[in-house]
Amino acid sequence: MIHSTIGSAGHLLIIIAFVTALVATFAYFKSGIARGALAGGTVEETLTWKKFARIVFYIHVAAVIGIVFSLYWIIGNHYFEYHYAWKNSSLSLPTGYTISSFWQDQEGSFLLWIFWNTILGCVLIFTNRSWEAPVMTVFALVQAFLTSMILGVVIPGLDLKIGSTPFLLLKEVMPDLPVYKMDPNFIPKDGNGLNPLLQNYWMVIHPPTLFLGFATTLIPFSFAIAGLWTKRIQEWIRPALPWALFSSMVLGVGILMGAYWAYETLNFGSYWNWDPVENSSIVPWLVLVAAVHTMIIGRRNATALKTAFILTIATFILILYSTFMTRSGVLGNASVHSFTDLGLSGQLLIYLGTFTVVAIGLLVYRWKMLPTDEEEVSTYSQEFWIFIGATVLCLSGFQILATTSIPVYNKIAEAFGTVLNMALPADQVGHYNKFQLWFFSLIIVLTGIGQFFWWKRVGKGNLQALYNPLLITLLISAAVITFKGVKDIQYIVLLTTSIFAIVANGTILLNIIRGNYNLSGGAITHIGVALMLVGILFSSAYTKVVSINNSGLMISRSEEFTNNDNKENKENITLWLNKPEKMGDYMLTWRDVRVEPRHIPGYIPKSWVDIVEGDFHAVALRDIVVNNQKYNSKGDTIEIFPENFYYEIDYREPSGKIFTLFPRVQLNPRMGGIVSSPDIQRKVDKDLYTYVSMVTNPNAEPVWSQTENFTVNLRDTFFVNDYVAILDNVVRTDDVEGVKLNEGDAAVKAIIRILDNDKEFVITPSFVIRDRMVARKPEVSNELGMRIQFQEINPQTGKFTFGVNTTQRDFIVMKATEKPLINILWLGTFVLVIGFILATVRRFKEFIKMRNKENQPTGQAKVKPKVQTV
């Protein structure tokens, strides 16, 4: 049965949400206008409109919650008649990840964004009544645009589709599927499932965090617009600042979570790849951080105030631009993980265009009203240094944006009828680093200097307070540079400037923390950033490839390798099953392929189970015992993650200590086939990062050569597949695996010894006579790529015949790198977050204090604006 009710309800709620957002925009606008031009409207009118608007907005909130609930209901109950559920979830998906399938696709991620906006809207209504009308006008308008993206309404006559709804049935999306001709009510039994690459706990929390970051940038933007509109040119900063700080923190954490996921899951070999999708989220963040700084000084300095307006508006527009880039398909070839075009590009452009034009228009219209500085800002003032810092942040963002937008230039040129054919720089990482390294060296120095000026530790003719930190910095830097062997000038600069920032901000921190730790947010955040830079510097610039191929095999390959002094890329090594290979200081052995059971800790050997094809179950071929605990008996069916295979690689350190890594190989048709993920040996001072760069499909059956028969006597030597083999003995046996022997049955097994270079293998094929029938039990050695079957016993000649098939020996190609001091990056991240939290709390307290002060006296005088108690 098709559950059409829930989908219809969801779709209806989307329409309600869209309409209520428009009505709320209008009503809040009316309320704002009446307030702005007191002559035209009465106070009562203002309040009536406001009350009405608020009720409409609450209906909107209820509708959005209803939409979220409906979509989740569809996914959670596995209603695969719906395209969204069919495409993004499956029965086998563990509950935790069904949440992720909610936002795996575009519609769901828009919905997530809409949802956060409604929550934030409610918080604003409750905490800030005096700004409600103008701020919520902007909010509701944004909601109208966002809900229109999931509207999924076709305007009759025009053939114009507005938005794409997640509540479409599969047969509405793919009406041409042949199955619908036979059975119009066909419902798929199972869905396609969530992209296994996203089945990771980071993917459960990263998207909501990132979208909360996106959503929160709307708040400072709304306040800036409201400030311009109601001519409260400076007052908007106080309520906007804590939100701007909160937004920087959430967006920053969201971006870093994505980076950490990439580090753990993708084999880029790094946490940051300068991918256009990553870039388009970091640019608004940089501008937002710059905006925060200008907001802080904007109440005292007119230039900073103007800049605060520009940057706050720019942040939000950049978020829209980034949404456009990642969702319009414009990135096309350029990015690995952008969404595909849903036919929403036009709508996204209108969205982007509207807010750009309205915001900039309003700013230009009010520009004359903005104050100007009477005298020039002094080079020794705090404002000067903070302003410079903000500017460099913006330049850094500008550079990233200029390059990331290359595909957009092509599209624009196309629209004008020319062909540009521009491509992203071939060496993207080098291109960005070339600029960003210097920008960030400058920014991080300015954090230190800025703090000294801010806390008035230095001033005109009084710079000596900076001497001590400078001296300490030089001493520490010299020590680190010598000890760590940093040789390149640009790294020396970045390292020294970062250390200066840590020392300078640390000095300030020590000074102020004794007074009031509430004020220490800035210094702590700066220290966090400086630590992150140090971590990035060492882990990226000093990544060392450990898996240098020195097996000497490539010498056979003519000039290609003898060229260039044999120094061409040799960063991958080949490992044969169970054959130790030297890599750097380690001795490596690939032991086995393992699978991941769902309710048993760790991974179990693939040979223990038989995986049911196309399912997430496997049959145990033996008792499953892990850590001396028996979980399943032979013959049981267990649940596994069928896409994931883990390659057990032993690392023997020079000291003889052995540790094991399990890099993953995932069969992932959604990503084009086989995806490998690293495993990381984490040490305090470095990570050892290992991934498999090539394997044969772990589920593929080996291709055996034609059988070659050998007829030999006992103790004869013969050559199979270039190995020396010796038939040592043929003995009677009572125990043949997989065969039950009854009375009167007989079995013998041959003991064949095979000599490899450094190792001996013993292969024991069996020959069974059971119920007067001959059964032959072959034995396979994956290490040798060989299968031997006991063919015949000739009692007359006393000779034995063996059939031998050979195949490619199992191998993997892997790569390992060392990433020094990467933990400093993660440590810096934590410090950064703590700093942001302290700063947010402090600014929020200030706002509450101010708001209550404003409300107290006016509470009685004016017509009862509700006084909030906090």
Partner 1 sequence: MKKIQIFGLVIIAVAIGIIVSTAGDASTYVDFTKAKEMAQDGDNESIHVVGKLKKDGMGQIVDMKYQPEIDPNYFVFTLVDNNNVEQQVIYRNSKPQDFDKSEQVVVVGKIKDGTFSAEKILMKCPSKYENGKMETTEHTAAKS
Q: How far is CA 551 from CA 547, 548, 556, 582, 722, in A?
A: 11, 9, 11, 8, 20
Among the listed residues 479, 553, 739, 762, the single contact to partner 1 using CB under 8 A: 553
| Nearest approach, Cβ of residue 679 and partner 1 (Å) | 17
Which token pair is 777?
């039990």
- What three-state secondary structure class fits 709? strand
Restricted to residues 250-269, the positions that interact with partner 1 (CB under 8 A) are: 269
Contact residue for partner 1 among 48, 200, 356, 391 (CB under 8 A): 391
Q: Which of 15, 59, 187, 424 binds partner 1 (CB under 8 A)?
A: 424
The stretch near partner 1 (CB under 8 A) out of 53-61, 557-565, 701-709, 796-804 is 557-565
Closest CA to 313 of 213, 247, 217: 217
| 422 part of the interface to partner 1, by CB under 8 A | yes
SS3 725: strand
How far apart are alpha carbons 731 and 714 in whole angstroms?
A: 11
Least distance (Å) from partner 1 to the CB of residue 422? 5
Interior CA angle at 65 toward 67 and 344, to 5°? 45
Identify whether the C-beta of residue 532 lies closer than 8 Å to the C-beta of residue 832. Answer: yes
DSSP character for 198? G
The region, left, alpha or beta by phi > 0 then psi within -120 to 50, assigned to residue 869 is: beta
Q: Binding of partner 1 at residue 721 (CB under 8 A)?
A: no
Binding status of residue 345 toward partner 1 by CB under 8 A = no
Which of 4, 42, 379, 660 lies at the binding interface for partner 1 (CB under 8 A)? 379
What is the Cα 505 distance to its own chain's centre?
31
Q: Does 427 bind partner 1 (CB under 8 A)?
A: yes
Judge whether 455 and 511 are in contact, CB under 8 Å.
yes
Query: With binding defined as CB under 8 A, does residue 549 bind partner 1?
Result: yes
Is 423 a binder of partner 1 (CB under 8 A)? yes
The pair of three-digit structure tokens given for residue 122, joined into one six-digit string:
């409610």
421 binds partner 1 (CB under 8 A): yes
Burial of 798 (0-12, 13-18, 19+ CB in 10 A): exposed
Compute CA distances 815 → 582, 603, 682, 693, whole Å.
13, 21, 16, 7
Residue 796 interacts with partner 1 (CB under 8 A)?
Answer: no
Does position 536 interact with partner 1 (CB under 8 A)? The reply is: no
Do 382 and 508 meet the contact criterion of CB atoms below 8 Å apart? no
- Residue found under tokens 């040592």: 728
The interface region with partner 1, picked from 46-54, 207-215, 219-227, 421-429 by CB under 8 A, is: 421-429
Q: How far is CA 206 from CA 112, 214, 275, 368, in A?
A: 12, 12, 17, 43
- Rounded to a whole number of angstroms, the minimum distance from the CB of residue 396 to partner 1 is 10
- The CB-of-80 to partner 1 minimum distance in angstroms stands at 14
Residue 301 lies near partner 1 (rule: CB under 8 A): no
Name residues contacting partner 1, limited to 171-230 (CB under 8 A). Answer: 192
Q: How far is the CB of 455 from partner 1 (least distance, A)?
A: 23
Asked if 675 touches partner 1 (CB under 8 A), the answer is: yes
Residue 699 CB, shortest distance to partner 1, in Å, is: 14
Between 146 and 675, CB nearer to partner 1: 675
Interaction residues for partner 1, span 6-35 (CB under 8 A): none
In 91-190, where do the E strands start and end? 153-155, 160-162
Between residues 397 and 765, which has the closer beta carbon with respect to partner 1? 397
CB of 572 to partner 1, least distance (A): 4
Tokens 């706990």 -> residue: 201
Question: Helices marked H in 342-381 — which ranges?
Answer: 345-366
340 touches partner 1 (CB under 8 A): yes
| Whether 22 contacts 144, CB under 8 Å | yes
The interface mask with partner 1, positions 621-660, x = CB under 8 A, is ----------------------------------------
CB of 851 to partner 1, least distance (A): 34
Residue 813, phi then psi, degrees to nearest 5 = -110, 125
382 binds partner 1 (CB under 8 A): no
Compute the CA torsion angle 20, 24, 30, 36 (nearest 10 deg). -170
Sorted by sequence, the CB contacts under 8 Å of residue 355 that are 6+ apart come out as 142, 316, 317, 320
Cα distance between residue 406 and residue 675, in whole Å? 28
Shortest CB 394 distance to partner 1, Å: 9
Instruction: For residue 233, give Cα distances in angstroms to 225, 240, 293, 849.
Output: 10, 12, 17, 20
Q: Which of 5, 333, 628, 796 binds partner 1 (CB under 8 A)?
A: 333
Residue (427 or 623) nearer to partner 1, CB: 427
CB of 663 to partner 1, least distance (A): 13
Name the DSSP class of 670.
G
Of the candidate spans 141-149, 591-599, 690-698, 730-738, the one that interacts with partner 1 by CB under 8 A turns out to be: 690-698
Place of tokens 């993004």: 88
Site string for partner 1, 133-172 (x = CB under 8 A): ----------------------------------------
Q: Give the interface size with partner 1 as a residue count (CB under 8 A).
A: 58
Contact 385, 453 (CB under 8 A): yes
Q: How many CA atoms lie within 13 A of 171 on its CB side?
A: 15
The region of 108-116, 250-258, 319-327, 390-398 touching partner 1 under the rule CB under 8 A is: 390-398
* Residue 557 interacts with partner 1 (CB under 8 A): yes or no: yes
Give Cβ neighbours of residue 371 (< 8 Å, ≥ 6 apart).
233, 302, 305
Please say which residue, 307 or 347, places its beta carbon nearer to partner 1: 307
Residues 303-322 that bind partner 1 (CB under 8 A): 303
Longest Cα pair distance anywhere in the chain, in angstroms?
121
User: Applying CB under 8 A, does 811 fall inside the site for partner 1?
Assistant: yes
Angle (nearest 5°) at CA 247 between 844 and 450: 75
Q: By C-beta, is 560 or 623 nearer to partner 1?
A: 560
SS3 583: strand
Q: Which stretch binds partner 1 (CB under 8 A): 376-384, 517-525, 622-630, 827-835?
A: 376-384
CB 245 → partner 1: shortest distance, Å? 25
**Which residues have CB under 8 Å from 165's CB, separation 6+?**
10, 11, 14, 107, 150, 151, 152
| Residue with the two structure tokens 């702590």 | 524
**Alpha-helix residue ranges (DSSP H) falling in 230-301:** 237-265, 276-298
- When asked if residue 395 is in the footprint of partner 1 (CB under 8 A), the reply is yes
Options 435, 455, 542, 844; binder of partner 1; rule CB under 8 A: 435
Stretch that binds partner 1, among 71-79, 566-574, 797-805, 857-865 (CB under 8 A): 566-574
Question: Of the two residues 303 and 520, which places its CB atom closer to partner 1 in the complex?
Answer: 303
Q: Is 398 in the site for partner 1 (CB under 8 A)?
A: yes
| 376 forms part of the interface with partner 1 (CB under 8 A) | yes
Query: Contacting partner 1 (CB under 8 A), which of 493, 554, 611, 769?
Result: 554
* 3-state SS, one letter per residue, for 117-175: HHHHHHHHHHHCCCCHHHHHHHHHHHHHHHHHHCCCEEECCCCEEECCCCCCEHHHHCC
Rule CB under 8 A: is residue 782 a binding residue for partner 1? no
> Is the four-CA dihedral 499, 505, 507, 513 of positive or negative sign?
negative
Single out the segment in contact with partner 1 by CB under 8 A; choices: 416-424, 625-633, 652-660, 677-685: 416-424
* Nearer residue to partner 1 within complex by CB, 11 or 83: 83
- Residue 436, interface with partner 1 (CB under 8 A)? no
Judged by the rule CB under 8 A, the positions of this chain that interact with partner 1 are 87, 192, 269, 303, 333, 335-336, 340, 376-377, 379, 391, 395, 398-399, 402-403, 406, 421-427, 429-431, 435, 545, 549, 553-554, 556-557, 560-561, 568-574, 669-676, 693-695, 811, 813, 815
